[in-house]
Amino acid sequence: MTNNRSWIPYLLILPSVAFLALLFIVPLLQTIWLAFSDNGVPSPANAQRMMADINFTRSIKNTFLLTIAVVPVQLAIALVMGTMVAKVGRGRETILWVWTIPLGISDLAAGLVWLSILQNSGYFNSLLLGLGVLERQASWLSYQTPVALFFAIAVAEIWRGTAIVMVIIVAGLNQVPREFKEAAEIFGAGAWTRFWRITLPLIRPALQSALILRTVLAFEVFAVVYALGGRNFPVLVGEAYNWQNQNQNYGVAAAYAVLIMIISLAATLIYLKAIKVDPERLP
C-alpha cells in the first residue's frame, strides 16, 4: 500500500477504538474506582462489606465448583463430538447443525428448559417412576437438596455451553492436515496414540481459545442458576446483581464485579501459560 495514504487504516479503526474506550475502558476503570472508594475517597469498605456478607464464601465456592465440574466435561464431550463427526461423510452438516443449536440458546432459556424436566411433576421424576426407582415426586431444586441442585445446574450448563467448545474444536480439527494422521498411521500409531500425540498438540490454539472463552463464561454463570434454583444457590454474578438491584448498593456490586474480573483474568493468564502455542510448530 502506498505511504501517502497511511492514515486510512487509522480512520477505519478509529470509530471502534473510540467506542471501546468509552464503553469498555471507562466503565472498567469506573468499576474499579467504585469498588475501592467510599463517598469519593479511596477506601476498602466495599471489599470488606462484600467479604463479610453471609453469601460471600458460598458464592465463591459454588462458582468455582461449577466451573471445575462443567468446563472439563464440556471439553471432553466436544472432543468426542469432533472425533465422531470427522468419521462421517454424508449427513455431517445436519449433525453439526443439531449439535450447534445450543449456541443460540441463552443461559436463562437453558435454565427454563431444564426446569421443565427437573421440576417436581416433571419428566425426570416421571422417568424415575416409570423405572420403579421412585414412588412419589421428589424435589431436586430446593434449598434442602443442595447437591441435587448443583448437579441440575451443572447439567443445564453442560447442555448449553458445550456447543461453543465444539465449534472451536471442530474448526481446529478441520485445519489439521490429513498427511500428519496418515503418516502416523503408516508408522503404526494406534488411534489412541494418534489422538494424544498428533491431534491434540496440533489443535492447541483451538483448545486454548475454547478453554479461555468457556472458563470466563463459566465464572459469569447467573441466569441458569436463577431459573433453576432462585436464590437457593448463590453465585458471584448473582450476588453482584442482588447488591445492585435489590440493595441498591453499587459499591459492593462493583466489588463483586472486580473480583470476577480478577478471577477471569487470572484464569486467562493460566491458560496462556499452561497451553503454550508455538506458532513455528503449527502446520
Partner 1 sequence: MRAQTTSKASPAGFVSSRRWLLWSGIAALCAWVLVPIYLVALGALGGRQGVYRWPKTALPTGISLDPFILFLKTEGVLQSFLNSLGAAGITVALSILLGAPAGYALARYNFHGKDSYRLLVLLTRAFPLAILALPLTVSFIKLGLYDTIIGVGLIHTVLALPFAALVTQGIFMGVPRELEEAAWVFGCTRAQAFFKIVAPLALPGIAATAVFAFVISWNEVFAASVLTVRNRTLTAYLLTVLSESPMHYRFAGGLMLILPSVVFIFAVRRYLFAIWGISSK
Of 42-50, 96-104, 141-149, 192-200, which part binds partner 1 (CB under 8 A)? 96-104
Measured distance CA(208)–CA(216) in Å, rounded: 12
Of 51-59, 64-72, 122-130, 142-150, which part binds partner 1 (CB under 8 A)? 122-130
Q: Is 11 helix (H, G, I), strand (E, B) or coil?
A: helix
Reported residue count of the chain is 283
**Which positions from 169 to 208 touch partner 1 by CB under 8 A, shown as an x/- string?**
-xxx-xx-----------------------------xx--
Q: Is 51 in the site for partner 1 (CB under 8 A)?
A: no
**Which positions from 126 to 165 touch partner 1 by CB under 8 A, shown as an x/- string?**
x--xx------x---------------------x------
Measured distance CA(202)–CA(180) in Å, rounded: 10
Contacts 24+ apart (CB under 8 A), 15-18: none
Q: Of residues 48, 116, 142, 193, which one binds partner 1 by CB under 8 A?
A: 116
Q: Of residues 3, 16, 39, 144, which one binds partner 1 by CB under 8 A?
A: 16
233 class by beta-carbon count within 10 Å (0-12 exposed, 13-18 middle, 19+ buried):
buried
b/e sequence 169-205, b meaning 16+ C-beta within 10 Å: bbebbeebeeeebeebeeeebeeeebeeebbeebbbb
Q: Of residues 58, 201, 264, 275, which one binds partner 1 by CB under 8 A?
A: 264
Q: Of residues 53, 102, 153, 229, which one binds partner 1 by CB under 8 A?
A: 102
